[in-house]
Structures are given as structure tokens and as C-alpha cells.
């Protein structure tokens, strides 16, 4: 599964040791801003040695597009072309023009544009509402992947419209016939906390439950800013590892152990139990192989996914600070897919079990 580091290894730290460190954290694509194409070339060459990708992002991509695309289109570490973060609608025409110019030369790689979340100030996508902002974007610009950012954990609470944002993105991506990528926050700033493993799981597994086919982290290397108080990213400003690096590494190991399920499956139904978030659906029915389920102690997300071979039922604890109890009865053919990749019969679990905050369990039939 693509796992993207926003602000990966910076240009002035481009060396194989730092790239190996990033790979060890579970990152597969690095996204950094290079001041020139030669610096980007150096990063691509190092990434290739480690089977990593680097997104093409340098001034020459915009002011000398044809030459730059021709230079990098066949590089084996090319991870796509970075066009813009959080565009307003007036920027759509120029983005379409740039995308078409790039894809006329290189139709193999994708062009990356990341959209605002639904918590952005409405005037940024005015005069239309958020769903229409996303729909207009997809109508005007033929991207191959839809990306958006939404950091839901603020001051110890989960934003009420986060799942609404996921519902909209999933729906519009399905209409367009493309996949979407989503974010988890790994660098604290202002009212966004230093994440722990539970917070990463909450964000990542909810994104995957809605059908995300790529996970992005903001950020890998802690940036400096005059506006935001960035601190304690996985790699701190001085280049040292923080505890968040360890959480990130564990999270990505879990993702890759489940990646075959999430990459090959289509999400067919997402419902919620307990407090029902805005514009989401309450749990009213169960998959055919689940006889009964009791959830105690808090809120839960339930996702039904299918691929060509199996039907999956995922249950996630969507509380920030408390466990939930699960008492589930299934048929004899149902199994549980464990985090280490092992598969066991579901009927081995004969009692109520606990899910810690943000965590989930996957049943397979």
C-alpha cells in the first residue's frame, strides 16, 4: 500500500542513511520540496537504491514542464508529480492545463493535487459548498487519485464533521471511478496534539474502512514555520527521532500486514454505532455470516468490504479514550485476521473481547 511522508527527508539531509531510516518507518513515497531538479535527481537516485519513490516537486516542473517531465518520466523512483496543495476553485483551470501538459508526455505516472477538508473556511471554496467543491474539481481536472486532508483530533476531541468528510470523499471518488488517499496527523502544532498510537490507529483505520488506498502522514520531518508551532513529528527539527517515529513504524507495520485486504477490497457499506456522526448511517443490519453483535462502552465504526475471494467485516473503536467490549456470534466458516497476518477461526473467541481506543478487528468469510 502506498504510504506517503509529507515533508520526508529534507533536501539538506539527502543521504542513504536518512532514506533508510524513513524506509524503516514504513514509508514508501517521500514528498519533499526540492529547490532545483538536480537536488531532486540526487534524492531519486538514492530512493531507487532502497526501492522507495520520491514525488517530483521542484520549480522546473512548473516553469520548464516539458524538459523536467522528459528528464524524470522514466526514472524508476518517480512517485508521481506534485502539482498543488489545497487549491481554490479559481486555480482549477491552470491545474488542468498543467496536468494535461504533463500527462501528454508521461501518462504512466499520476499528478497529485490535495484538496481542502470540509473544515476549511467556506470562502476558500466559495461560492459552492464542500461536496460541490470536490465534484467540480473532479469534473474539471481528470486526476487519477483523489486526495484530501482532514486532521480530526483537536484539543482532545474528534471533530464532528470528520466522518462527513470521509462520506463525501468516498462518494465522489466512487462516482469518478478513482481511488482516494487520506491523511493522519503525525506532527503536533497549536491545538493538534502529539499523537499516540491510539490516535494514529483511529485516523488510519477509519480512512481504510471507508476505502482509502493510500495513507499520508503530515509530516515525517518536523518543519519550521512562522505561522504554526510544529513540534514532535516522527523526526524532530534537529533530525532526532521522537516517540512518534516508533508509533509511526508500528502503525505502518500493521497497515502492510492488512494491505492485501484493503488494496483488493471494495468498501460496500459503512455504518456507525453509538453516537452517529453527521451524514453517516446507523448500524441497522449485519453481514450474512454474523448472527449477532453486542457493543458495550462506546462508539464504533463497522465497515463491510468485499474482494473476489472474501467478505470482510471490520469493527473499529472510534473513541479516543475508552475501550469498548465486543460480543459477536458468527457462523462456523468465519475467521479473524490478526495483526501479525495469522488467520484463526472466529469461534475460538467465545467471550466478550475488548478493543482499545482507535483499534479494530477484521472478520473474514
pLDDT, tens digit, 9 for 90 and up, residues 193-242? 999 999 999 999 999 999 999 999 999 999 999 999 999 999 999 999 99
DSSP H or E stretch at residue 202: helix 197-209
Residues 6 or more apart in contact with residue 115 via CB below 8 angstroms: 86, 87, 133, 134, 137, 146, 147, 148, 149
62 with 144, same domain? yes
Of 232, 264, 296, the residue at which a domain comes to its end is 264
Q: Quote the CA–CA distance of 365 and 358 in Å, as a whole number.
A: 23
Task: Share the mean pLDDT of the chain.
Answer: 97
pLDDT of residue 123: 72
Between the alpha carbon of residue 363 and those of residues 15, 209, 230, 337, 348, the distances in Å are: 42, 13, 39, 6, 12
214 with 330, same domain? no
Residue-wise burial string across 117-152, b where 16 or more C-beta atoms lie within 10 A, e elsewhere? bbbbeeeebeeeebbebbbebbeebebebbbbbbbb
CATH of the domain at 8: 3.20.20.80
pLDDT, tens digit (0-9, with 9 covering 90-100), for 54-92: 999 999 999 999 999 999 999 999 999 999 999 999 999
DSSP H or E stretch at residue 210: none
Query: How many structural domains is the chain composed of?
Result: 2
Query: Could you tell me the residue range of the domain that residue 244 belongs to?
Result: 3-264
The pLDDT of 272-300, averaged and rounded, is 97
156 with 89, same domain? yes
Q: Torsion-angle region of residue 125: left (phi > 0), alpha (psi -120 to 50) or beta?
A: alpha
249 with 321, same domain? no
189 with 284, same domain? no
167 with 24, same domain? yes
127 with 274, same domain? no
pLDDT of residue 125: 66
DSSP H or E stretch at residue 33: none
341 with 232, same domain? no
The pLDDT of 243-269, averaged and rounded, is 98
Alpha carbon of residue 90 to chain centroid? 26
Q: For residue 359, give the DSSP letter.
A: -
Could you tell me the sign of the dihedral formed by the alpha carbons of 132, 135, 137, 140, in that order?
negative
Between the alpha carbon of residue 265 and those of residues 165, 212, 302, 311, 341, the distances in Å are: 21, 10, 15, 9, 16
pLDDT of residue 92: 97
CATH of the domain at 311: 2.60.40
Of 242, 264, 286, the residue at which a domain comes to its end is 264
Of 227, 242, 264, the residue at which a domain comes to its end is 264
Length of the chain measured in residues: 365
127 with 257, same domain? yes
Any idea which residue has 528528464 for its cell? 71
pLDDT of residue 127: 54
pLDDT over 70 at 48, yes or no: yes
208 with 337, same domain? no
183 with 301, same domain? no
pLDDT over 80 at 29, yes or no: yes
141 with 225, same domain? yes
Whether residue 203 contacts residue 185, with contact meaning beta carbons closer than 8 Å, is answered with yes
Amino acid at each position: 500500500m502506498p504510504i506517503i511522508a509529507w515533508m520526508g527527508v529534507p533536501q539538506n539531509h539527502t543521504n542513504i542513511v536518512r532514506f533508510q531510516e524513513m524506509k524503516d518507518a514504513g514509508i514508501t513515497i517521500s514528498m519533499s520540496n526540492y529547490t532545483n531538479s538536480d537536488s531532486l535527481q540526487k534524492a531519486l537516485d538514492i530512493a531507487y537504491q532502497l526501492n522507495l519513490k520520491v514525488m517530483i516537486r521542484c520549480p522546473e516542473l512548473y516553469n520548464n514542464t516539458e524538459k523536467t517531465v522528459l528528464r524524470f518520466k522514466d526514472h524508476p523512483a518517480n512517485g508521481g508529480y506534485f502539482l498543488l496543495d489545497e487549491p481554490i476553485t479559481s486555480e482549477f483551470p491552470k491545474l488542468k492545463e498543467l496536468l494535461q501538459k504533463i500527462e501528454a508526455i508521461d501518462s504512466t505516472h499520476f499528478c497529485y493535487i490535495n484538496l481542502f477538508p470540509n473544515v476549511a473556511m467556506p470562502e476558500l471554496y466559495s461560492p459552492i459548498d464542500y461536496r460541490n467543491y470536490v465534484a467540480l474539481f473532479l469534473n474539471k481536472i481528470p486526476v487519477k487519485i483523489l486526495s484530501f486532508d482532514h486532521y480530526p483530533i483537536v484539543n482532545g476531541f474528534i471533530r464532528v464533521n470528520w466522518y462527513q468528510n470521509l462520506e463525501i470523499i468516498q462518494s465522489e471518488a466512487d462516482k469518478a471511478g478513482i481511488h482516494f488517499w487520506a491523511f493522519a496527523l503525525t506532527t503536533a502544532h497549536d491545538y493538534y496534539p502529539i499523537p499516540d498510537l491510539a490516535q494514529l490507529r483511529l485516523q488510519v483505520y477509519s480512512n481504510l474502512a471507508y476505502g482509502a488506498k493510500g495513507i499520508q502522514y503530515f509530516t515525517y520531518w518536523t518543519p519550521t514555520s512562522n505561522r504554526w508551532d510544529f513540534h514532535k513529528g516522527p523526526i524532530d527539527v534537529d533530525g532526532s527521532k521522537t516517540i512518534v517515529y516508533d508509533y509511526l513504524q508500528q502503525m505502518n507495520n500493521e497497515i502492510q500486514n492488512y494491505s492485501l485486504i484493503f488494496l483488493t477490497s471494495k468498501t460496500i457499506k459503512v455504518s456507525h454505532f453509538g453516537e452517529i456522526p453527521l451524514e453517516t448511517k446507523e448500524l441497522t443490519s449485519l453481514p450474512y455470516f454474523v448472527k449477532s453483535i453486542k457493543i458495550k462502552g462506546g462508539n464504533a465504526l463497522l465497515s463491510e468490504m468485499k474482494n473476489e475471494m472474501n467478505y470482510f467485516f471490520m469493527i473499529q473503536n472510534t473513541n479516543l479514550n475508552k475501550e469498548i467490549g465486543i460480543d459477536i456470534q458468527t457462523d462456523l466458516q468465519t475467521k479473524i485476521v490478526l495483526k501479525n497476518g495469522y488467520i484463526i477461526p472466529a469461534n475460538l473467541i467465545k467471550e466478550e473481547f475488548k478493543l482499545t481506543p482507535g483499534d479494530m478487528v477484521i472478520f473474514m468469510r
